[in-house]
Amino acid sequence: MSFAPLQNDTFLRACLRQATDHTPMWLMRQAGRYLPEYCATRAKAGSFMGLATNVDYATEVTLQPLERYPLDAAILFSDILTVPDAMGLGLTFAAGEGPKFAKNVRDEAAVDALAVPDMAKLRYVFDAVTSIRKALNGRVPLIGFSGSPWTLACYMVEGGGSDDYRAVKTLMYSRPDLMHRILAINADAVAQYLNTQIDAGAQAVMVFDSWGGVLADGNFQAFSMAYTRRVLDQLKTEKDGQRIPSIVFTKGGGLWLNEMNTLPCDVLGVDWTVNLARARSLVGGDVGGPGKALQGNLDPNVLFASAAQIEAEATRVLDSFGIPHTDRSTTGPTHIFNLGHGISQYTPPDSVSALVAAVHSHSRRMRAQG
Ligand code: CP3
């Protein structure tokens, strides 16, 4: 398989701690319900899974935000819950209600029945990756993704979303042996899933540990981070001579950055509770030495304020990281601008235009002043 050469490599360069002329940006959930054109395609598809399993629709909605905004990366349109669905749990999204599984995993018999799914069941995802990569035609790189083993386990044990994580924490505290078995299977499934996305054309991969932050200190390390590490240890880091960077985002994980710095990934994503200057000093590394790139961390609710306020808040985030590394002959601390979590479905699309313009122009200005 050969694809068109990349025209905008700022995102991949920043992932690898290489200098760029501006701070690259993309938004978690950038393809979604805040865009009227997404809602129109989803209505044609009939359901979320109808949309995600149709290669042409998945390609169309992945490109929609790029038609509107000069973003520096595309992210595969899919969902983290495709993996437990392929394990036979039966995923549906009732309109306005969030995800639901027909079966949950709460006892020994259910864990005994669990296995790494045949990747052929996820063929629609890999076909979408290849189709999107072709449609992008080298415009920007394509990010593939998966849920973390722990975050997937939350949905599998709860049977859907949860406010209090009661079922998954009950299992973790009462039968840690079963919890570890689920997490080991999830880690191996996620590793195969991401490696197959890389083979299909994904140019970077991201692990969403959306619920790592609900764990107690000690349990985060044992039940979330250890299994994210098990995924990363199995990932391909190169394809056709190109480095494939990996990103780990733990929502609410800011207190564990020192420990996450030991993960074999390139980028750490952080939410809005994190001070980027402090994060940079903890994990950003020195010029020429090892370190992690940082991704984040604007509060998505800033996008409900005025264009002037959006610009001010975006500037604050960029300034808190400080002037990124600029010497093209070596590596150093870099920043990828993003939100601290997914964009809200109620976001006015014009707010995103204001944000992208502010990030690109202010981040250029900062480099000129440095
Ligand atoms: O970022 C992107 O544009 C790519 C697509 C993407 C989706 N889900 C599409 C989606 C990505 C990266 C995800 C990841 C995902 N899915 C996560 C991790 C990131 C996070 O937000 O913490 C999680 C926890 C899920 C699980 C999930 N999927 C939930 C809880 C829901 C329902 C809540 C909601 O926002 O509606 C979904 C459905 C979903 N996945 C939608 C989209 C665009 C909306 C559903 C629809 O169109 O009906």
- The tens digit of pLDDT for each residue in 39-61 reads 999 999 999 999 999 999 999 99
Domain that holds residue 232: 10-369
Band (pLDDT 50/70/90 cuts) for residue 269 is very high
Please, are residues 230 and 271 in contact by the beta-carbon 8 Å criterion?
no
CA-nearest residue, atom 35 of ligand 1: 98
Query: Cα-flanking dihedrals φ and ψ of residue 146, to 5°?
Result: -155, 165
Band (pLDDT 50/70/90 cuts) for residue 107 is very high
pLDDT tens by residue, 291-330 = 999 999 999 999 999 999 999 999 999 999 999 999 999 9
Residues 6 or more apart whose Cβ sits within 8 Å of residue 327: 19, 287
CA-nearest residue, atom 21 of ligand 1: 342
CA-nearest residue, atom 2 of ligand 1: 29
* Ligand 1 contact, 30 CB (< 6 A): yes
Please, are residues 15 and 293 in contact by the beta-carbon 8 Å criterion?
yes
**Range 136-140 average pLDDT:** 98
Is 109 inside any structural domain?
A: yes
Among 2, 10, 3, which Cα is nearest to 356's?
Answer: 10
Percent of the chain with pLDDT over 90: 97
User: From residue 7, how far is each of 11, 73, 141 by CA, in Å?
Assistant: 11, 11, 9
Alpha-carbon gap, residue 25 to 14, rounded angstroms: 10
Instruction: Give the atom of ligand 1 at the shortest distance from the alpha carbon of 52.
Output: 9
CA dihedral of 44, 49, 54, 60, whole degrees rounded to 10: 60
* Ligand 1 contact, 158 CB (< 6 A): no
pLDDT tens by residue, 117-126 = 999 999 999 9
* Ligand 1 contact, 77 CB (< 6 A): yes
Band (pLDDT 50/70/90 cuts) for residue 369 is confident
Is 208 inside any structural domain?
A: yes
**Range 240-257 average pLDDT:** 97
Q: Is the pLDDT of residue 96 over 80?
A: no
* Ligand 1 contact, 145 CB (< 6 A): yes
pLDDT at 296: 98
**Range 163-181 average pLDDT:** 97
pLDDT at 162: 93
Band (pLDDT 50/70/90 cuts) for residue 148 is very high
Q: Is the pLDDT of residue 95 over 90?
A: no
Ligand 1 geometric centre to CA of 335 (Å): 24
pLDDT tens by residue, 180-198 = 999 999 999 999 999 999 9
Ligand 1 geometric centre to CA of 79 (Å): 6
The CATH number that applies at residue 77 is: 3.20.20.210
Residue 155 falls in the annotated catalytic set: yes
Is 140 inside any structural domain?
A: yes
Query: 295 forms bridges with which residues in the sheet?
Result: 269, 336
Name the token pair of 347: 């976001």
Is 362 inside any structural domain?
A: yes
Q: Is the pLDDT of residue 62 over 90?
A: yes
Residue 297, preceding peptide bond in cis (omega within 30° of 0):
yes
CA-nearest residue, atom 38 of ligand 1: 98
Please, are residues 222 and 241 in contact by the beta-carbon 8 Å criterion?
no
Helices of type H across 69-107: 82-84
Q: What angle do CA 49, 121, 180 make, to 5 degrees?
A: 95
Band (pLDDT 50/70/90 cuts) for residue 357 is very high
Of 9, 17, 34, 79, which residue is the catalytic one? 79
Residue 301 DSSP label = G
Ligand 1 geometric centre to CA of 311 (Å): 26
Ligand 1 geometric centre to CA of 138 (Å): 25
Q: Is the pLDDT of residue 370 over 80?
A: no
Alpha-carbon gap, residue 272 to 338, rounded angstroms: 10
**Range 280-294 average pLDDT:** 98
pLDDT at 25: 98
Of 13, 34, 38, 42, which residue is the catalytic one? 42
Question: In the predicted model, what is the mean pLDDT of the chain?
Answer: 97
Is 2 inside any structural domain?
A: no
Ligand 1 geometric centre to CA of 32 (Å): 8
Residue 33 falls in the annotated catalytic set: yes
Is 4 inside any structural domain?
A: no
Alpha-carbon gap, residue 226 to 229, rounded angstroms: 5
User: From residue 173, how far is each of 90, 162, 188 by CA, in Å?
Assistant: 26, 17, 23
pLDDT at 340: 98
Query: Cα-flanking dihedrals φ and ψ of residue 39, to 5°?
Result: -60, -35
**Domain count of the chain?**
1
Is 141 inside any structural domain?
A: yes
Band (pLDDT 50/70/90 cuts) for residue 1 is confident
Alpha-carbon gap, residue 311 to 316, rounded angstroms: 9
Band (pLDDT 50/70/90 cuts) for residue 236 is very high
Residue 42 falls in the annotated catalytic set: yes
Is 50 inside any structural domain?
A: yes
Alpha-carbon gap, residue 166 to 168, rounded angstroms: 6
